[in-house]
Chains A and B, each alone.
Chain A
Amino acid sequence: MNIYVKLAYTLLGFFLVLNWGLLMSATLRKIVARVAGRHGIPFYQPWIDLLKNIGVRTTLSHGFMFYLGPVFRFTGAVGMFLFMPALFGSDMWSNFSFEGDIVLILYFQLFGMLGMAIGAGEGGHPHSAIGIARGLAQHAAIEIPMTLGIISLAIQYHTLSFTDIVAAQQGGIANWTIFTNPIAGVTLLLAALGAMGHSPFNLVKAPNEIPIGPPTEYHGTYLGVLMSSGVVLHVMEAALFMNLLFGGATNWVEFIIKTFLINFYSVFVGVVFPRFKIEQSVVWFFKVPMALGILAILIYSF
């Protein structure tokens, strides 16, 4: 396929994902509101918020890295999208997934995180540093079930390529990894809770405690960029687990449904459970998820 056509499709895909992300966040918030008995925000609220943020007149700058923070974050989100095939079996929507495999995605998640951390750090706000320190610690803990699960999958499928893993799950629900390798599936889903960053693992931003952690100093356009990358990241995190566990998606509707459900799952857990402290969160990952992950590997290594 012509590279320009591909580029055009990729851009289109990204636009879709961005809007879906905004819509999804609104929907999820509305669901949370309904759970609480409220009416909730209008479904178009995220777009308005985005617009308003872009319309903010005062812009402050703490320095060069302060700019780069959101840039890193957004690039990270775009990269997550680019290096993962959006739809299975479609040459148009496979993005740039030919450039790398799961490992690339796993480590690319950190790209935005690191940039954001450094950008927020230049703001000089103590809460940024505290939030990031927590986030990194939690990330290190998430790494355990995540890696265990993915290695288990890699053993199962003998590949680290998304396309191949999704291909192996085609042909019916029974072929999905969550059913063929349930232990690894559960491990990854538990890791997903941490990766999505909803309660009980939301101590990075921890509203009401360290105002909102890293983005405390960000406002206006910066915040807009951060928000958009945030929603894209949410979709793509879900897409990651969708591809790994739930057979991927062959069309956009499936993509939307599956990513929504995976996100809904983490929001659902978040609504039920209160926030962990950092040491609780880290230790939590050392317990059940790690044990399950080890089991998942043991099953496949013998």
Chain B
Amino acid sequence: MVSPIYIVAAALGVGFAIGVLGKLGKNFSGILTLLTLGFMTYVSSEWLYAFYFGDQVSTYVFTAGYKPPISINLLMGPQEAFMSTLINVIGLLGGIYLFFNFGRKGRNAFVVYLVFIMSLNVVIMTRDLFNLFVFLEISSIATAGLILIEKGNRAVGAGFKYIIATSIISSILLIGTIFAYFYTGSLNIDDLVKSDLTTTTGGLIAVFLILIAAILEMKPFPANGWGLDVYEGSHQGFSAVVSAATATASYFMLYKLLDIAGNSWDHYIAVIGAVTFIGANLLGVKQKFARRLLAYSSIGQLGLLMLILGLRTYLGDNLNYVVFGILLTNLLAKTGFFWLVGIVKAKTLKEWAIIRRKPFFLFLMGTFVFALIGFPPFPSFFAKWTFVMDLAANGGFVWIAVILTGSFLEAIYYFRWFGYAVKADDNYNFSFNVRWHKITPIILLTALLYIIGYLTAQHTELGRMINFIPLFFVLILFALDFLPVFIKNTIAIIGMGIYFYFIYPSLSDLKLLFEVIFMIGGILTLIAGYAYKGKRSGFYPVAILMYAGLTGLIEANTTLQFFFGWELMTAGSYFLIIRGKRSMPHALSYMLFSVAGAYAILAGISIANIGQLTTSLSIFNNIQYFPQWAYGLLLFGFLTKTASVGIHIWLPGAHGEAESDVSPMVSAILLKAGVYGVILALIGMSKSQYDLSSLTYILGWVGALTVLFGNISAVFQEDAKRLLAYSSIGQLGYIVFAFAIMTQLGWLTGFTYVINHFMYKAVLFLTIGAVVLRVGTHNMYEMGGLIKRMPLAFVAVLIGITSLSGVPPLSGFTGKWLFYNAVIEKGWYFQGVIVFLSGGVAFLYLFRLIQTIFLGQLKDNHRNVKEISIWFLIPIYTLLAGLMVFSARPQWVLQPLGDMIANYMPQNSIRWDGAYAYTAIGHWTGSGVMMTIGSVFLIVFLILKLSTRKAHKIKQFDIVYSGERPDRPDTTHVAYNMYAGFYKAVWPLTVPLAERFWNWMTELVHEAAGFTRRIYSGNGQAYMLHIVLYIIVLFFITIGSSI
């Protein structure tokens, strides 16, 4: 075991040696530095290894042969080992990254860098207050020196602000130190902890001064302008190290020093952390420049760390797990991000579009973004999970709200940035070059992120239960991304098929139903992918990622697994959605609503978790505390995915602009995930001992209004895919409403709609998508008369809309019939009427869909279009076959479903007699109606066909036109603003209140951010003033009253 003192010794020694041996050249110095850093890393990681895998105990290292307080001592414990390993690793990688930048400045830069890393190590390890001050100053000086490796005025200004600010902070620490010494006679932290300083006034002030210095080092909002400038102004390679290593050291310093004050400061630290976390992320929202954005984000993460530290009493033993998770993710991802910023020389966020010229970089960026927001499988996901669970278990609901709000704000700007990177117009004439020494550290970091994420999961019992196989499949697909689409598609389909085959036996009932929808639906929609040519870069991994999430939801036995699957699914679907041509803003709003929903779910789960002995999903069935809140939050979270009214605004754009085969995936399949969640919550509510009928009542109204709103909005769309998207909103409203009824009939209706919507919406979206691919426009008024060119597509749409509209004998009617019975049985008449009225409204948009696209006048430029691709027709007609079977023999599905629902809803209100269904108030037979209507239809058709067998085939303009003739198809086709009259009657219902509300909210957030950030005037002196004022204000808040 190498003594940690050698870390210091080696660094100092080599530093001096380089000074002495300067003649040997810059490269030599550099390599020597890297070797030293490697040695330091080795030492600290050896300790780390010993702590975790051996039974090493914490060791004090004494210097100068005396014991404290006479001499300085260092402590090497597991935490110190961890932190210093982190710092050294980052130091080493940073050294590699900055190798040539240092080289250009001469060998002394290496020395400074070495001293910088060394000083941070000492800050971690030292137990002596004065020593802490000294090395803090050393690190500040070194930082200020290293800032100058970036050329230009900005770095100089930033460096000056930095050095003067840190000097003031250090001075305060020094004053505090000397006071502490004055009152205790010792500089040793351990002694200070023991001596109970806070009992005397002077001691209080000493502690205040020490802690305020430590807090200021953490760059608390708003006294952190200097910190921002350093992140932004200095070389990004170095900013990364500051953001990661210095932050780690600062955090640990605060952690160490906090013990001096006992627990009395926890609360303040938490509040400061919360303010910083939310404040920094809020200001980030308004930010347009990449570097400064990262600076805000870094500070936000520091705030989060402070928050965690302040809430350590809530966390207990899990503190380190949470901190390590957050810290590690932040460290790895943020460092990587800074370095990426250093490589991609784009200033504004919009300019980041250039990054997709090198797709691998986009992958890296995506990894970092998702890691920072806390998506699985990255460590922060698990850390956040544990954090929130522990907070809830101890009643820290406000803190949960704070954390989730801050994280949400963070998500806003990160995803906007990422959206720009993926989709913004790339018309910039500058490019970026990649050099191996710069990219290698980033790749290493990324790999570490994934590995550590996996390990973090394995670290806990719950995490070990997560099934990572689908994720590995996703990674394999990433690796195979260079293959042509045909091969990848086959691999994906086979993979999903095999997975389904193996998982099939283990599922039953509800899970089986949804798994069939997810997997079979997935395979069918993937078949449509054969229609695409080329590589379709990046499509398959993300599609499979979504399906991995979906199947994860189904397989989940524990809440963590469930949430894991949920987040994976969200991530995958986000990537799928953003692939659309104009879908950048829609993907952003989708992601934001998803993130908000996910946080609501997280909060809901955390409340559900209180007082539970088990972590399995069955806790939903037995929520003990605040059940209204828990279920309410869960339902809200799930409803964001089902796009209920008010939180639906992401859906039309997201689905409407997505690619042709993605729309069915995200509409017919993905939305069902939300439904699955709603069902889980409702099952829980049905079993709950509390009376939750008010919640279901609200849910029922939400569902009903969603139906009305979705359908009426769909009527006035000009864009075919948006029309279908609004229709999806309406259909999901039906489903939510049906499940909210909470009777057997209601649920049967719900399941019927789930199955139906899956089939017909997949058919419609696939068909319309394929048509769009052929005709090259979404606008219905630009199409028309396509029945002549694509009869098969027409038949598919015809059956699809007939089914959707609920006209007998197709399966849509099954749902309507059940609906009537369920509504009347339940007594929800007015909601029911709204729903049925909306059913009538649905006709309008359905007719519009088929009339304006397939009927009417064929447009000139579509005279030669071909039938839609065979690869679309295969899944479409497979689904149609399913639809017809379900229509003709509904009892085959509904009977077992009814039996299944009886497990949850004991009333047995539907009786089957062969193909005949009876409820208390009505009766109906699917097959009988089908047969009757079918035979009548056939007979009439034959008769008419016979009598008109000599009919002349005429062309599109051979119509009576009041003695005139049509001029052009475009002017003869009734399509644009087709329901103008209806609009005059119902326009009050189409006012986009939700959009206005959310726009207003967005404005509000932006205005708040824009207003607040003006405190960062850029004037160094103002920043000093902030610090001083901050100290004064904090003084009065914390100890002012007790003196």
Contact = CB atoms under 8 A, between A and B. Distances in A.
B1011 to A, nearest CB: 45
B197 to A, nearest CB: 71
Interface in A248-298: 277-279, 282-283, 286, 293-294, 297
Interface string A90-129: 0000001011111110011011001001100111111001
Nearest to A152: B829
B944 A225 contact: yes
Interface stretch (A24-32, A33-41, A43-51, A54-62): A54-62
A160 interface: yes
A45 to B, nearest CB: 22
A67 B941 contact: yes
B924 A114 contact: no
A240 interface: no
A174 B982 CA distance: 40
Query: Nearest 6 pairs between A and B by C-beta?
Result: A121-B855, A278-B981, A143-B840, A282-B985, A140-B840, A129-B974
A180 interface: no
Interface in B849-863: 850-851, 854-857
Q: Which of the listed residues A62, A78, A108, A301 has the most CB atoms from chain B within 10 Å of its own CB?
A: A62
Contacts, number: 241
A175 interface: no
Interface stretch (B175-183, B229-237, B799-807): B799-807
B837 A96 contact: no
B932 A279 contact: no
B956 to A, nearest CB: 5
A193 interface: no
Interface stretch (B583-591, B667-675, B769-777, B785-793): B785-793
B338 to A, nearest CB: 57
A58 B952 contact: yes
Given A124-B855, A148-B833, A100 B929 contact: yes
Contacts of A144: 833, 837
B1 interface: no
B958 interface: yes
B843 A111 contact: no
A231 to B, nearest CB: 15
B993 interface: no
A59 B950 contact: yes
B289 to A, nearest CB: 51
Interface in B822-875: 823-824, 827, 829-830, 832-833, 836-837, 839-841, 843-844, 847-848, 850-851, 854-857
A67 B944 contact: yes
A222 interface: yes
A110 B843 contact: yes
Main secondary structure of the interface of B (DSSP, over half): helix
Interface stretch (B185-193, B573-581, B915-923): B915-923
B979 A137 contact: yes
A301 B941 contact: no
A118 B947 contact: no
A118 B850 contact: yes
Interface string A134-176: 1011011111100110010011001111000000000000000
B922 A161 contact: yes
A286 B808 contact: no
22 contacts: A99-B924, A99-B925, A107-B808, A110-B805, A110-B807, A121-B855, A124-B785, A130-B974, A133-B978, A137-B979, A148-B833, A151-B823, A154-B820, A154-B921, A160-B820, A160-B921, A161-B922, A220-B948, A222-B944, A278-B982, A282-B981, A293-B833
Given A61-B951, A99-B932, A103-B922, A136 B843 contact: yes
Contacts of B933: 75, 79, 111
A277 B954 CA distance: 33
A71 B974 CA distance: 24
Contact of B813 (A104, A129, A154, A220): A104
Interface of B: 785, 787-788, 791, 794, 798, 801-802, 805-808, 813, 816-817, 820-821, 823-824, 827, 829-830, 832-833, 836-837, 839-841, 843-844, 847-848, 850-851, 854-857, 920-925, 928-929, 932-933, 936-937, 940-941, 944-945, 947-948, 950-954, 956-962, 972-975, 978-979, 981-982, 984-986
Q: Which of the listed residues A68, A100, A101, A141 has the most CB atoms from chain B within 10 Å of its own CB?
A: A100
A222 B843 contact: no
Q: Which of the listed residues A64, A68, A126, A297 has the most CB atoms from chain B within 10 Å of its own CB?
A: A126
Contacts of B941: 67-68, 71
Nearest to A61: B951
A59 B922 contact: no
A151 B945 CA distance: 41
B798 A118 contact: yes
Contact of B830 (A101, A124, A294): A294
A107 B807 contact: yes
A67 to B, nearest CB: 6
Contact of B829 (A82, A282, A297): A297
B985 A279 contact: yes
Contacts of A141: 840, 985
Contacts of B832: 147, 151
Nearest to B937: A75
Contact of A140 (B830, B841, B855, B924): B841
Contact of B847 (A96, A124, A132, A225): A132
B941 to A, nearest CB: 5
A282 B972 contact: no
B928 A74 contact: no
A244 interface: no
Nearest to A54: B947
A13 interface: no
Contact of A126 (B816, B940, B951, B973): B973
Interface string A209-240: 00100001100111001000000000000000
B940 A225 contact: yes
Given A99-B924, A129-B974, A140 B844 contact: yes
A301 B829 contact: yes
Contacts of B844: 133, 136-137, 140
A70 interface: yes
Given A124-B857, A134-B981, A279-B985, A100 B936 contact: no
Q: Which of the listed residues B920, B925, B932, B972 has the most CB atoms from chain A within 10 Å of its own CB?
A: B932
A87 B975 CA distance: 44
Nearest to B844: A136
A61 B952 contact: yes
A246 B802 CA distance: 32
B805 A114 contact: yes
Contact of B833 (A58, A68, A147): A147
Contacts of A301: 827, 829
A207 interface: no
Contact of A101 (B924, B950, B972, B984): B924
A208 to B, nearest CB: 12
Contacts of A64: 787, 791
B956 A124 contact: yes
A100 B958 CA distance: 42
B1017 to A, nearest CB: 57
B874 to A, nearest CB: 23
B840 A139 contact: yes
Given A140-B844, A143-B840, A159-B922, A75 B806 contact: no
B844 to A, nearest CB: 5
A117 B928 CA distance: 26
Contacts of A70: 940, 944
Given A107-B816, A147-B837, A278 B985 contact: yes
A142 B798 CA distance: 24
A101 B957 CA distance: 44
A54 B946 CA distance: 12
B717 to A, nearest CB: 14
B982 A117 contact: no
B819 to A, nearest CB: 8
Nearest to B823: A151
A67 B940 CA distance: 10
Contacts of B820: 103, 154, 160
